[in-house]
Structure 1
Amino acid sequence: MRYHALAGTERSALAASDGDDVYDLTSANPNVETFSDLARAANITEQTIDDVAEGLIDDAERLSSDYLDERIGRPVAPDEVWATGVTYHISEQAREAESGTPDVYLDVYEGDRPEIFFKATESRTVGPRETVGVRGDSTWDVPEPELAVVLYRGEIVGYTVGNDVSSRSIEGENPLYLPQAKIYDRCCSIGPCVASTESVSDPHGLEMSMRIERDGTVLYEESTSTSEMVKSCEELVSYFTRHNVVPEMAVLLTGTALVPDEGFTLEPGDHIGIEIDDIGVLENTVTTV
């Protein structure tokens, strides 16, 4: 199943979709208002999130696809978002090209230990159709489309689409500037849903595509596959959780393989669409922060 937050309503609500069928789970049990509530219930009862949802569906109000589309919000409110880097060869090449110290990225790509860094708090993370930010002191900004792993108490409970918006000009000046290149207002988006682990056929065999438009003109459109990842989601999660007290609800971005040409930089008003098989399309526009 896929789980969606309903925004713009009088109450917080969690919807579940299975094909064309959409259910308001909160109408069946008001204690299940968010995806975190669902994951907590599954953890307490030692069930999967789909098992808990299926137990609510018979008593849940049916919703139309149009109603869901009009009210779709950020599907999960993570306490923390973390990210991994140089997990694809093209990403390693791009970061070598932008940096004055390229060897550090090759060492990570070929090494056992992945690059893992803090990306965002809940307040810095936006959802579908909201604006993502580019820094006002940056001259080269790009979206980074990524498969995102959703974790409850360090365990994988689902997947979503992530956009790790980044300043390549700031990071390229010096690798020690990475936090400023990555962490700022509206630096991350996730959505449009959380797809349960049971509904994702193979997280390492999903087609991922990105399309960037400006004033109705397509500036970038490419696709790739998560099969190109040099490390598995389980490996990345293992390094994220070891010797680290992780929050109850976290999202881990798994790296990007879609990198616009060096001459491209995001501008306010640009439209970004990122699609991943089995999950859906995450759409955002761009603003300066």
Structure 2
Amino acid sequence: MNNLDQNGTYLGRIWTAEAAGPSVVTIRAGRVFDVTSKQVPLVRDICEMDDPAGYVSNAPGRDVGGLEQLLSAPTGNTHLLAPCDLQAVKACGVTFARSMVERVIEERAAGDPDKAEAIRNRVASAIGDSLRNIVPGSPEASKVKQTLIAEGLWSQYLEVGIGPDAEVFSKAQTLSSVGYGAEIGLHPSSSWNNPEPEVVLAVSSRGKIVGAGLGNDVNLRDIEGRSALLLSKAKDNNGSCSIGPFIRLFDEGFKLDDVRVAELALTVEGTDGFVLRGHSSMSEISRDPEDLVAQTIGRHHQYPDGLMLFLGTLFAPTEDRDTPGAGFTHKIGDVVTIASEGLGELRNTVALSTDCPEWNFGVRALMTNLSARGLL
């Protein structure tokens, strides 16, 4: 797979017909190795270790085939799953200045893409790049807030963008995230939506960041724009959360500082011939990843099985796809690829959430499967 580092330590999951369930895997010299054991049956268990990368690098495993072969049939009897299992899936919003402006536009347009362009021009002329270097919660941010209030441009999105408290929400239910090659879902009632290419942190129950992967926080712009109280409907649907292809564990060659400067490339290829390209630069994030983790897990909130944390995106699509001024929206069949050097590629195909395979393998099914395999 392009963008994987042959010296990196990768952790993931596959579904196998033989086990009728998931197995924990790693990548060694382009081969997939099953490292599931009775002592360590879950990705969650490895992420709880003092040295996850050290364990994975030396864990005994069974060669189950070549990675490229696995990727060439992403929905076959053996295929990649999201690389997390019992972890909670959380997400941070409005963590980049440019996407912050787009969230304000969504709110002011009340989910109507036809109104977005005019509002975009007015808000951008007033705000410009003035928010780019402001530290959220700082005295300077407070002054900007008062200025924007006086201009009649203050918004709940700006509050979480430059205020002291980050937006952290529940993105998906445990075990409901999809992986590489799966369909990603749009709620049938949405007509204005887009991908959100993001870095996703793997965090232990102690709040330790142990690695990172890629994620698509599928966004329904019209539904969220109508009301912030519809955030759950806009964010948590069948197939609306994709993570993968693997968690790259921190080791001597890959650390949090590499995440802080990661560059993400996005490509959307439609069956109509339309191609959209975008990017997100972690160096432009307004809040440090460690701050976002600290606002999510701590004495105020525990996650006994750890969590996966989406960090937000710089990407905000404004390129028109069909109607002038209406911006971008998905069409069924779009192939979305998110890529980053060292983290690999996450590729999915857009469908309606009502047409995606139903999610029916929850925690009880996982525990039953592991028990039947003698792994519990």
For normalisation by structure 2, the TM-score amounts to 0.69
Given the alignment of the two structures, is residue 124 of structure 1 paired with residue 214 of structure 2, yes or no? no
Per-residue deviation, residues 89-142 of structure 1 (Å, max 9, x unmatched): 111011011113752222222222211111110253211111111111122111
Q: Report whether the alignment pairs 1:230 with 2:313.
A: no
Structure 1 residues 203-214: aligned runs within 5 Å: 203-214=259-270
Counterpart of 2:305 (choices 233, 243, 248) is 248
* 1:217 counterpart residue number: 273
Separation in 2 of the partners of 1:64 and 1:180?
38
SS at 1:139 equivalent? coil
1:34-62 superposed Cα distances (whole Å, 9 cap, x missing partner): 3223234x2xxxx31111123324x6547
Q: Do 1:161 and 1:192's aligned partners in 2 also have CA atoms closer than 8 Å?
A: yes
Corresponding residue to 2:346 among 258, 276, 282: 282
Structure 2 spans left out of the alignment, 5+ residues: 1-8, 74-78, 109-152, 319-325, 354-376
CA 1:95–1:19 in 2, change beyond 3 Å: closer, same or farther? Answer: farther
Work out which of the residue numbers 156, 171, 177 in structure 2 matches 1:104: 156
In 2, the alpha carbon distance for the partners of 1:187 and 1:66 equals 25
RMSD: 2.2
* Cα distance, 1:217–1:53 mapped onto 2, change above 3 Å: same
- DSSP 3-state at the match of 1:126: coil
Residue 152 and residue 68 in structure 1: after superposition, are their counterparts in 2 closer, same or farther (change >3 A)?
A: farther
Once the two structures are superposed, the pairs formed by residues 21-170 of structure 1 within 5 Å of their partners are 22-26=32-36, 29-40=37-48, 42=49, 47-57=50-60, 60-61=62-63, 63-69=65-71, 70=73, 71-100=79-108, 103-153=155-205, 154-170=207-223
CA distance, structure 2, for counterparts of residue 280 and residue 229 of structure 1: 21
Percentage of pairs with the same residue: 28
Check the 8 A contact 2:201/2:212 in 1, yes or no. Answer: yes
Aligned residue number for residue 270 of structure 1: 334
Q: Find the aligned partners of 1:228 and 1:85 in 2 and give their Cα distance.
A: 14
Q: 2:183, 2:62 → 1: CA distance? A: 32
CA contact (8 A) 2:84 2:175 kept: no
Deviation, 1:79, is 3.8
- 1:21 CA drift (Å): 5.4
Kept in 1, the 8 Å contact 2:270–2:333? The answer is yes
Q: What does residue 323 of structure 2 align with?
A: none
Please name the residue that 1:172 is paired with: 225
Take 2:15 and 2:32, find their aligned partners in 1: how far apart are those partners?
15
Considering fraction of residues, name the structure with more strand.
Answer: 1
Greater mean deviation of Cα atoms: 228-237 or 7-16: 7-16
Q: Secondary structure at the match of 1:203?
A: helix
Preserved contact between residue 147 and residue 276 of structure 1 (Cα < 8 Å): no
Tell me by how many angstroms 1:200 deviates: 3.0
Gaps of 5+ in 1: none
Counterpart in 1 of 2:120? Answer: none
Count of residue correspondences: 281
- In the alignment, does 2:14 pair up with 1:6? yes
Alignment CA distance shift 1:96-1:206 (3 Å): same
d(CA) in 1 for partners of 2:309, 2:260? 15
Match of 2:131? none
Q: Distance in 1 between matches of 2:65 and 2:316?
A: 38
Q: SS of 2:296's equivalent?
A: helix
Letter in 1 for 2:25: A
In terms of Rg, which structure is larger? 2
Is the contact between residue 80 and residue 247 of structure 1 (CA under 8 Å) also seen in structure 2? no
Q: Deviations over 1:243-272 (max 9, x none)?
A: 012241311100011121252111221111
Asked if 1 retains the 8 angstrom alpha-carbon contact of 2:11 and 2:56, the reply is no
Query: 2:45, 2:175 → 1: CA distance?
Result: 19
C-alpha deviation, 1:221, in angstroms: 0.5
**Contact 1:2–1:195 (8 Å) recurs in 2:** yes
Say which SS state the counterpart of residue 179 (structure 1) adopts. helix
Corresponding position: 1:183 with 2:236 = yes
Distance in 2 (alpha carbons) for counterparts of 1:39 and 1:91: 31
